[in-house]
Structure 1
Amino acid sequence: MTTSPSHPDFAELVRVSARIGCLSFGGPAGQIALMHRELVEERGWISEDQYLHALNFCHLLPGPEAQQLAIWIGWKLHGIRGGLAAGLLFVIPGALVILALSMLYGAAAHLAWFAALFLGIKAAVLAIVVQAVLRLAGRALGTRFRKTAAVLSFVALFLFNAPFPLVVIGAGVIGWIAARWRPALLGLKGEAGSPPDTPRPWGYSVRAVLIGALAWAAPMVAILALLGRDHVLWRVGVFFSKLAVVTFGGAYAVLAYMAQQAVSAQHWLTAAEMADGLGLAETTPGPLIMVTQFVGYLAAFRSPTPFTPLVAGLLGAGLTTWVTFAPCFLWVFALAPWIERLERAQALKGALALVTSAIVGVIANLSAWFALQVLFHELRPVWGSLSLPVLASFDWRSGLIAAGSAWLIIARKWNIMRVLGLAAAGGWLLSLLP
């Protein structure tokens, strides 16, 4: 079978998708840039306009936009099997790496040298999250109205412990209304245009939703039948299934909600361990939201009955990965045929514009939460759910590494992997001091 350079055969798509999956370090920005270079610039499989339209479409969906973009490209080139191949190969390399690291962490988390390495990694992660706030704020806060939304979302989460889904949904509703009545508040220009005069692909989308939903739910049905609602695997599956529906704005947007729930409500791990997990995810290829697998592994590893800890951890990691990423295929396969119509939906653009603005406040809340956990050994409740640090408990080692990491990442533009490696070494060296 021969193909033109602009339309690869299936084997070539698989080979290049595997390469992208193994090299997709650097978070969404790096992953999206890698796919653009490999698929648009070097091979010409997708045009520039198609790539940008698809990227905008993926920003409308919950879940990791880079993986969904990979699914869409595979679907565009080879239909359902192409989307499955590209999407799975984008996730599998990173999933295997972080599973191995989670197993190592579960076995070695209480060793002194291991804790010393992660002292530095946690401090560097704080700098990385701050950089994410600054980057997103620069893109998303173009009007006073959108800046106000970011500030209010931060206040609602940090001071009043408002539910994350409520903040996101509220921002979306307000953005929807503003786009219809005062689009200038959001920086939108005029009407988005009329939808194309083509048949609506309802049948295709309904079949994709039904098949995708059945696949998504299958492991949960088995757990309910065999282990019941009280088992940790059921709680893990339900929690991360809900999370998969509200993860607009990228991984950082939902990490604060996930971390606070996993630490404070479910007690699956500590705040310091959550920061460790984020550090592991930063060092692996694939979506940053893969940190959910780390949480699922530890949750099941520590409540293994009736399995051994290792088997329970593997089941928890596998279940978490499935319920986190299976919905991505559902969204893309069901909505990809509608991409041109969604591009012209003014009210939907307005809703997502304000959600993105609110996400800045969400990530700022994550930064504040991590800063308190990483830089101080002791917090004191002051009002409601708000806790402030005891200044005497400041960890100067973490503060020094965090400040140095921020300078290297933000001012010097160092690669994240280099900074994490240097921070880990710094944490180990500083731990040797009295």
Structure 2
Amino acid sequence: MSSNVKAWRASIVHSLADPAEVGLDASYEYLADGLLVTENDRITGLGYARDLLPTLPEDAEIVECPNSLITPGFIDTHIHFPQTDMIASYGEQLLDWLNNYTFPAEKRFAESHHADQVADTFLNELLRNGTTTALVFGTVHKASVDAFFKAAEQRNLRMICGKVMMDRNAPDYLTDTAESSYDDSRELIERWHNKGRLHYAVTPRFAPTSSPEQLNAAARLLGEYPDLYLHTHLSENSQECEWVQALFPDSKNYLDAYDQHNLLTERSVFAHGIHLCDQEFKRLHDTGSAIAFCPTSNFFLGSGLFNLPKAEEHKVNVGLGTDVGAGTSFSLLQTLNEAYKAMQLQGAKLHPLKSLYLATLGGAKALRLDDRIGSLAVGKEADFVVLDCESTPLMKHRMQYAETLDEKLFVLMMLGDDRAVRYTISAGNVVHDRDM
């Protein structure tokens, strides 16, 4: 019988820990001429090519990837698949943008054939950009979540999604009730949660569109299924923050509106977190909750700048989110481009090795999946990406003058996009080949 061993030869880099905690030098492993060995869906070997090549079975398939860099698959900790339809919609800030563009687009997902079509487009875009895991918003319709999970299951992807819960301050055609949202979510949980590589996230859109009764229903689900995720928005826009305070007058701050309903857990991920106080950062740390840093959409909607150094100071888990469709690219490379600028505007630096961490292991830690994905350690699931360091004429030219790993990573993050993704591999299978 033939083996299922496959070996990928290229330069290889992956994060070992957060540079903010262990320092840059201890935060990564780099192999200039490395070999990544997989068998079926697992990583079974990682080392220098000269050491591992002689150990391979005779029938092992070896993929040579010159001028390339292998990294773990990218992890997107906040994105809306129904908003694929209205990405790049002009001229509004958050609340008007939701009413004028987002809600009308999401109305169409009541139709399962539309949801199926967009789910395929959405996942193909993720894979084309090297993203192998994402935490994803559906719509209020069960059909949207069924469509997403069905398409993800067919590709054997590790994905997380949930039905939006929204029972007030939204169009009638998109609202549910506290009880119906509980019942619909529970039905979807029973059908999809932990099926293969899939997970469910309880998904109240944000505090203004959920009544206290609905937030209690969300907490009830979390109590009944302890390994569920909680996925929602937090402190994205200053007007939004004022609205939350008016709707929840007894809350000490925006985060407390969720906290009072027992929604802060180790599997809670809050998108944005731009306008947080120290008390909120501390509470996020104490509960093990995470923030999804979404610089592209924060710039696009004029929402503000996320304070990453403050999150580091409080040791809050942070992942990276494209936040399509307010985000204007599925590419986490392009998202890191924007993250760097967000830090520059605050007088802070975002080192390329920290960027690598945010897009891979940091995202895995935020999602509590770092025992399975996020690095290239032996035994982890074989989710990784092969980046072409000469994917455009400009990148090829610039790489001639990049003498260190830091420089090469930074060039990829500033100039890279979907064109730089040569292969995307999920569970050991090629799910995107740029040249096919």
TM-score by length of 2: 0.25
User: Which structure: greater strand fraction?
Assistant: 2
Structure with the higher fraction of residues in helix conformation: 1
Report the TM-score, using the length of structure 1 for normalisation: 0.25
